[in-house]
Amino acid sequence: MHSREIEPYDEARVTTVSRRFGVALFTRFPELRRQATMACHGEGEPWRLVVRVPAFSGDPRSELTVWIDESDEPSVAFGAWHTHESVWGAGLEKAAASAALLDLIAGIFADRFVLCADVGGIADGTPTVLDLHEDEALVEELTSPHSLGRSRIRSWSGRLDREIGLDDPPSGGPA
């Protein structure tokens, strides 16, 4: 998300999509309203919602950003990973896709979704998101053809942050 100007959020000045998604976002997460801003990508361009939320852990690599992109699509970034409503909610109707994106945000806050990045190799540090409610998600990531068998987990709270490999003993935690 690159922008030229950022101002305090003004519901009356943002795009219709920004306003609608903002209502849904702030209804579900009223505490996020404090971080709401709006961005304009160039002179004469419309203002769009942007919400930047520092990670509970304080780690800037786990910041959450919610924004409406230049195509007027709700989007979410968690650290260096991001997705869009049409990708995360692929195959769902518009209302369900929007709800799925809000569920993603809730899951990030609850440490259900964590960042996972390979350690070493050409993909070192390139994150993906794992759903820890899927029993085999971490094993599948560590055994994928492109993995070196070690990954770095980063969570919103920081409680699950660690480096892990296939040979490591279980930690007793969800990741």
The pLDDT of residue 145 is 81
Spell out the residues 6+ positions from residue 168 whose beta carbon is closer than 8 angstroms to its own.
none
The pLDDT of residue 124 is 58
Strands, DSSP E only, in 20-158?
Answer: 36-40, 48-53, 64-68, 74-78, 81-84, 113-118, 127-131, 150-154
The pLDDT of residue 13 is 96
> CA triplet 61, 42, 37: central angle to 5 degrees?
45
The pLDDT of residue 74 is 98
Residues 137-168: tens digit of each pLDDT: 888 888 888 777 888 999 999 999 999 887 77
The pLDDT of residue 117 is 87
Residues of the chain predicted below pLDDT 50 = 172-175
